[in-house]
Amino acid sequence: MKVLVTGAHGQLGQDVVAIFTAAGHEVAGCGRQELDITDMGLCQQTIAAYHPDAIIHCASYTAVDAAESDADLAYQINAVGTRNIALAAERVGAKLVYMSTDYVFNGQTDQPYHEYDHPDPRNIYGKSKRAGEILVQSLCSRWFIVRTSWLYGLYGSNFVKTMLRLGQEKPAIQIVNDQKGSPTYTVHLARFLICLTESDKFGIYHASNRGACTWYEFAQAIFEEAQELMDWTASAVLEPCLTGQFPRPAPRPVNSVMEHFALRTNGFEDLPPWREGLKEFLLALK
């Protein structure tokens, strides 16, 4: 299968390129320098020239707080850019996998979100990603929308790497304990994307590592596993706190946990538990 990956130099994109290549697919990885997704003509030209069977659209504006004061840029990338990729994909008959987010929900319920629960994003980032979802559904005939959450991987910065660094630099770290979600290892997500893309089971999917925790519980697990699996010792004490103690420009969902209903009903193997993902990541990082 010929696969084109947008956002190929990002945290998820680099693993998608590597894992699809290792699985025997012919992969073209396009970062921002190779493909400006906000340029419709360039999208049409690049995708027509490569003529992929599938496009994994990882390129995204993800600066959640900055989006509140720069909505134009967030929508230009997450909505307009996605429209451009969707139109180009449809023109060559390619499947399109659009990577989306738990932030399309308001996070106010105490139950995990199903794929067809009503989206109600609370911040600009979530609203712009939801706009991208709508455009994919409107403009493509062969699409997958994959919502994921709390991503971390070997490439780029993320919560796990930050905790490992701060754990040795600070005497104490306050971590919010009233936001719940599912930490997701990019390698596990990329492996699922292969299974999904090789199928014709189009639709919306929730894909995250199984189980849930708060950010504070995640930090606790990072410290515990790093001390067991790596030559690492924490100097910091972890202290739970409330979201309200650290006000930020963009409101965060209290509950980001997503039900994997579509994975089960379509016969896909679920992702491993989140703690397994954390262990695998720390061993790879070591």
- Selection from 33, 121, 141 nearest residue 78 by Cα: 121
- CB neighbour class for 30 (10 Å; exposed up to 12, middle 13-18, buried from 19): buried
- Angle (CA) 230-235-236 rounded to 5° is 110
Amino acid found at 43:
C
End-to-end C-alpha distance for the chain, whole angstroms? 33
Residue 85 tokens, joined: 């990729």
User: If you write DSSP's letter for every residue of 34-93 in order, what string do you get?
Assistant: T--TT-HHHHHHHHHHH--SEEEE------HHHHTT-HHHHHIIIIIHHHHHHHHHHHHT
Which residues are part of the catalytic machinery?
Answer: 125
Q: Cα dihedral sign for 112, 102, 277, 214?
A: negative
The count of other CB atoms within 10 Å of the CB of residue 146 is: 22
